[in-house]
Structure 1
Amino acid sequence: MRKIMLLFVFATWSLTGSAQESHYNKTVEQLKENNFYFFSQLLQNAEVSKQVLKSKKNQAWTASQKIALENQANLTRIIAADQLIAPYLFSEEVIATIIGEFQSISQQKSVKDFIQTMRNSGKYANLDTLNDATFLAAVVRFNLEAINYTLRVYGEGMDPFYPKIDAVSYEVTSNYYQRTLLYWSKHLLDHGKEDPLFFERSLNYAMYLLYFNHRDEGVRYEPLDEQYNAKAMAYAKEVDFEAYPYNALLVLGDGPANYRDPLSALGKLNLEIAVTQYRQKQAPFILVSGGHVHPNRTATCEAIVMKEELMKVYQIPEEAIIVEPYARHTTTNLRNATRLMLRYGFNITQKSMIVSHYNHIRMIYDPKFKQRFVKELGYLPGEFIEIENGTLLEYYPVEVMTQLNPLEPLDP
């Protein structure tokens, strides 16, 4: 029996490949995939990773970073958060050097194939018109700057774009948090790869910052397709969309003002409006959108609660409800809903209907909303046509919404 057990342990160790992989953190790996698709896929591409690892300049950066982190790990006193974060940050000079190193290998077949894979993914759709070298440079810069942003917000305590709902969870000047930053840094250094790619230590630390700040909202419902939308996905394959004026009713959230009520009064009104449209056979699906937003760090996910309300109170069949549980703003309500419709095979040239209360609809229809969309996400959201004064909008979305935005790491 002892021999069998030892063989089992050895086989398990062989499958994992290393002690590093035995410390697999599912949440952290999902955060990497969702926020930093380029780096996540690079780590899985052995040929391109080998080319990147060969770079003497990248090796020099990685070695100097390790020395700085080892020096910190040996400190017997607590230092400020910005000092602890500093070794993980990429300076403009380093970013420029790294981009140059990528461009020097951009004509190799494995790298060109990898660039095409990134294009095909749609994750960087807003950059797709660029030639290969410029595309690669833009994607690398975008990802490195986003790592810096995550480190500064959830390590140093810099204000995010929406500080009231997206900020760091602790007081960064407290002794407790400074010790937390230091001890996690030491732990990850001690259990990291011997020869990591130039970005791995910084990326790992940034994702663990999200993890121990309890800011993992962006992956809490994965696999979404299997756990919450499986019936709707199956139903979408059978639906005759041409029999309906709209392909979906996009119900926007209206977060409650307290931790007691899972839905606000106006949030319930949004559902009532959507149900009326659904029963008039305006669309085969009700798509509810809203994450853990209001009040700050609420345990309630608005989209999940809206689905429950639709089924329990209105007897809407589960296969007719699509859940989008991540959006934190009106901009990402529309973006994330479009992503799901594309993923589930909808023809997005067929219009959708946006459902919300009067003030919300008027805000979306105002030209300033498109300006905000461009400012926050980098592209226009599509076209809106008013159906009824202040209650419903026709919506024609755009495919570029598959573009990732790791500068909003709670909902990229």
Structure 2
Amino acid sequence: MKRCLMLFVWLLIGNASFSQFMGAQPGYKPLSGGDWVKSKNCYMLTLLEEDKAVASLLQTDVELAKLAAAKHRAIQLSLSECKDALCLPGFIKFTSQEISVVSNRLKVLYKVGNALDVLVKKHIIPSGMYIRYNDLAPVGLLVKAWEQDAACINYIISVYAEAKKPNYPQIDSISYDIKKRSYYTLMYDCTSEVVEAVNKNDLFFKPSLYAALTYLEVNERRQAADYEPMVSTANKLAAERIKQTKWTAYSYSHILVPGAGPDNLTTPLSGEGMLRCKTAARQYFANKAPFVVVSGGAVHPFKTKYNEAVEMRKYMINVLHVPAYAVIIEPHARHTTTNLRNDARLIFRYGMPFGKPGLIITDKYQNDFIANMEQRCLKELGYVPYKLGKRLSDTALEFYPLVTALQTDADEPMDP
């Protein structure tokens, strides 16, 4: 009787969830554009580059071509004009006027049935990466996606070239002392690289996008690309197993284990991480769920080389003897908010039942925090990517993923 009731609730919530997908498609496979950091941070701009018909439309527009040439000239001029390091990236960022010019041109160029319209309907809406704007008309969504990507580029430049404080300075700050003379040399060389690598006839956004990616690279901040594409590499065994799973045999779709970073650079997995894994393994072997998602990036301490999810997976398999096909890594989350958000994304992309509850297994204090985390999600993400269920114990908390989790975050370049 209990299982039948749970199945009914699952189906009820599942149907409600699917009605909220707002055009996002579980089977949609995001394009990498040859660079997962670029794709995950600026998906619309990646699409503009990848679609030849769209790229041609934009490159032949007189106003956008003028903008592209002017931007290239300004960046080239900065090499002789700028005498300090922070002056150079200032020429590369988009100005508010430039962003406005592009927005207006997109409105003019967009026509129902043309290449831009097809791009919105075939990729931007199904991807869910701009899902907060999916209720807008296609042209409005197109403009919002552009403005979000432009803001993302400006944010990356402001933090990883101009040394502005990121959201979490202790773990995400710039890697250099900007007061040293060598930093001017680095910024000069980065600008020279942009001038040499990007042609003045390239798409209008190419210099700024290329520069932003370069700044991330020289700061060793390309973690967004780590282990991608996971569905065909690190998580391949689980992805194949998901297709064969009889979901009605389990109370939960999966068990989520948030990571806990160590406090030094030589310890791969913290004691707290081990304890969370042990508790989760007991739930797995009790047949509560067919999969365990271990979540956490290379976060603590600053510039660590160890990835929380990867180290937890090793521990789960090698020490706790959980089958390799049952352990899924989510190796990008840097905060508790994104442990849940990224988990919801995996559930959606991998075709697990989105309306079936998941089970968070962690320590009492983190579960206390998660139980009251909505305001922090709203502040940092702009939405809440989950709905909480019952608190079963100090260490166990039910939750339901929400499709809003697909929305890209424009000010977290290592985990957008």
TM over 0.5: yes
Deviations, residues 354-387 of structure 1 (Å, cap 9, x unaligned)? 1110110000001xx1111122112122211233
* Rounded Cα–Cα distance in structure 2 between residues aligned with 1:181 and 1:241: 53
The structure 1 segments of at least 4 consecutive aligned residues displaced by more than 4 Å after TM superposition are none
Aligned counterparts of 2:63 and 2:390: Cα–Cα separation in 1: 55
The answer to whether the 8 A contact 1:126-1:379 is kept is no
Match of 2:390 among 381, 386, 410: 386
Aligned to 2:120: 115
Alignment of 1:234 with 2:245, yes or no, is no
The within-5 A match list for 1:190-339 is 190-339=196-345
Question: How far did residue 194 of structure 1 move?
Answer: 4.3
**Structure whose residues are more often helix by fraction:** 1
Residue matched to 1:399: 403
- Indicate the residue corresponding to 1:36 in structure 2: 42
Output the CA distance in 1 between the equivalents of 2:109 and 2:73: 28
Per-residue CA deviation, residues 12-65 of structure 1 (Å, 9 max, x unaligned), is xxxxxxxxxxxxxx9982211111110001011122222222333322322222
- Superposed CA RMSD in Å reads 1.6
- What's 2:99 paired with? 95
Residue 126 of structure 1 aligns with an amino acid whose one-letter code is R
Contact 1:365 1:386 in 2 (8 A): no
Contact persistence 1:370–1:381 (CA under 8 A): no
- Which secondary structure state, in structure 1, belongs to the residue aligned with residue 35 of structure 2? helix
Helix, strand or coil at the partner of 2:100:
helix
Does structure 1 conserve the Cα–Cα contact (< 8 Å) formed by 2:389 and 2:398? yes
Partners of 1:258 and 1:295 within 8 A in 2? yes
Instruction: Report the residue type matching 2:68 in the other structure.
Output: T
- Percent identity over the alignment? 31
Q: Contact 1:27–1:219 (CA<8 Å) still a contact in 2?
A: no
Q: Distance in 1 between the 2:415 and 2:395 partners?
A: 27
Structure 1, unpaired ranges of 5+: 1-25
Query: 1:223-248 deviations in whole A, cap 9, x for unaligned?
Result: 22222111111111111111000010
1:359 is the counterpart of 2:365: yes
Amino acid at match of 1:37: Y
Asked if 2 retains the 8 angstrom alpha-carbon contact of 1:28 and 1:208, the reply is no
Distance 1:354-1:215 versus aligned 2 partners, 3 A rule: same
Amino acid at match of 2:84: A
Asked whether the 8 Å contact 1:80–1:173 carries over to 2, the reply is no
Choose from 150, 160, 176 the match for 2:156. 150
What's the secondary structure of 2:383's corresponding residue?
coil
Q: Could you tell me which amino acid in structure 1 is paired with residue 354 of structure 2?
A: I
| Counterparts of 2:99 and 2:137, CA distance in 1 | 20
